[in-house]
Chains A and B, each alone.
Chain A
């Protein structure tokens, strides 16, 4: 009797517990579903224009996350919506240009190529990167290239030298080493063009036989 009594007294508590769980879940699920799209922080017309560009990129098989990232960065920096649309449109056109030149490469390579064009390289300077060895990516070369142009190294000089190094089979460590030396010289006060010319002369085209450990570059980089 005592047991029956206990069971009877527990049943309502259990029901209440399940009810509470169901209530929490029912509340939580829509909450997840309602997670707002970060792009919704744009004004409606700018949001529409950005989404249109993203759809167009998807249709063309271009990496649309490049455009979305640009829009989100603009939102984070509180940039006017119209300006964000202008920048997304510019990036969309650069992606199309990079795709037309580099051909059917991966999305990451296309984004990197577009970034180099954004930094100031000319479209025809990307053309040599269309022919590539298997399992070789040009991300490091493109990254260093974009940085050098940004630092004031003349675009023609940076482009021809980076292209030559890449065609000669230079590895990521070589590119990073070149960049490290050039930026170090620039920080010491050397003219960017001169710093680059000095360092490119002493940069080997191909990796040396006794390959050194990659400098603390992209997977393990330090400026300390």
Chain B
């Protein structure tokens, strides 16, 4: 147990080490500390929760590691770690494929803990950056979860984004998801760490006459099993207005009555985040989270308050598909036109929109026009002088265009610098 505490502590401390600016564009980290109250009695009434996250972003891939640990009375009660890799294809006519792989471990003080590996593929249809639908499917392989063996997961969903960063009422992102879990359920005393039982065992669920018919004795292993499935229907909304972020989710689980336990039938949760500056936020929330039987994590009710620290804030948009980064931009050119205008040319493929903004546009986004497979153009009036410019693709983060000198701007970002020569030298 001490080793675990030390590991969590070191991980948290490691996140406090400032990240070199050169890496910052690809490395983000977050750590939360909060006071938790869990009402089901299975977990401590009061606990501190640490939830660090590290994320690396590449043009078509994201690697994220996040953890969560509930510590009470100097003991680690429940720890949950997950590493996620997401590979995203370029967008072709609004269609994007995504492959997601997860490897996770949950450590429960009351048992040995569980491991799970799952792989999922999704196909997204995007309606620019304002909405989309997706359909996905995959398999999950849990270990040390006595209650379930290999599972197949199918999901479908839709999302819509209203407003923008400059809108009076901010941005709201709504998501609806349907997920089907199909797996083999095995009779056991506990969900995790206990051996499977035979149907004849007096403590087996199948000993209950009402459910006995649902289970069958597997000839080879002698385990008491049944094919099981349930469905989750969940809706969420995320509203961002200035420094305030509100997130609410509600869900309903239905399926075989034996598998849908009363404590996981309906759930609702909400979180409010107020950013005091771009690195520190107050977080508060509560609600109920359903059990995750494949991972051996029980249902829990909670109320929490705490702070969130972000060294390099993770892009927290509620859009449920990873959007490509500006690092996809392959090239940037600027040409003086005889009319006194300047043509900006950006080379980037597999995206839906490309915007620029800078001092020349009073920092309002200007959308480029697609002129070819990976060619985007826009003519802007640029006067003599040094100008600042940023670019973004598909509504992602603003970044300095490649191939231009850059400097830090005033607001923790980088900005590209372009120089327009005096009129008599414009022939260069």
Contact = CB atoms under 8 A, between A and B. Distances in A.
A203 interface: no
Given A78-B242, A83-B277, A219-B336, A143 B411 contact: no
Given A76-B166, A76-B363, A77-B413, A143 B386 contact: yes
B363 A73 contact: yes
Interface string A112-140: 10010011000000000000000101011
Contacts of A115: 386, 407, 417
Interface residues of B, number: 49
Contacts of A55: none
Looking at chain A's contact residues, is the secondary structure mostly helix, strand, loop, or mixed?
A: helix
Interface string B385-399: 110100000000010
B411 A87 contact: yes
Nearest to A112: B386
Interface stretch (B25-33, B253-261, B302-310, B326-334): B326-334
Given A69-B359, A223-B332, A139 B408 contact: no
A15 B36 CA distance: 74
Contacts of A219: 334-336, 420-421, 426, 428
Contacts of B332: 221-223
Contact of A76 (B364, B405, B408, B421): B364
B161 to A, nearest CB: 16
A112 B385 contact: yes
B408 A119 contact: yes
A207 interface: no
B403 interface: yes
B166 A143 contact: no
Nearest to B243: A80
A108 B384 contact: yes
Contacts of A72: 359, 362-363
Contacts of B336: 219-220
B408 to A, nearest CB: 6
Interface in A201-222: 214, 216-222
Contact of B405 (A38, A90, A179): A179
Contacts of B221: none
A92 B419 CA distance: 22
B428 to A, nearest CB: 5
B74 interface: no
Nearest to A142: B386
Contacts of A119: 407-408
Nearest to B416: A147
A41 B417 CA distance: 26
B370 interface: no
B405 A144 contact: yes
A76 B357 contact: yes
Given A77-B413, A80-B277, A223-B402, A150 B418 contact: no
A147 to B, nearest CB: 4
9 contacts: A38-B364, A69-B363, A73-B363, A150-B407, A172-B419, A220-B428, A223-B330, A223-B332, A223-B403
Interface of A: 38, 41, 65, 69-70, 72-80, 83, 87, 90-91, 107-108, 111-112, 115, 118-119, 135, 137, 139-140, 142-144, 146-147, 149-152, 172, 179, 214, 216-224
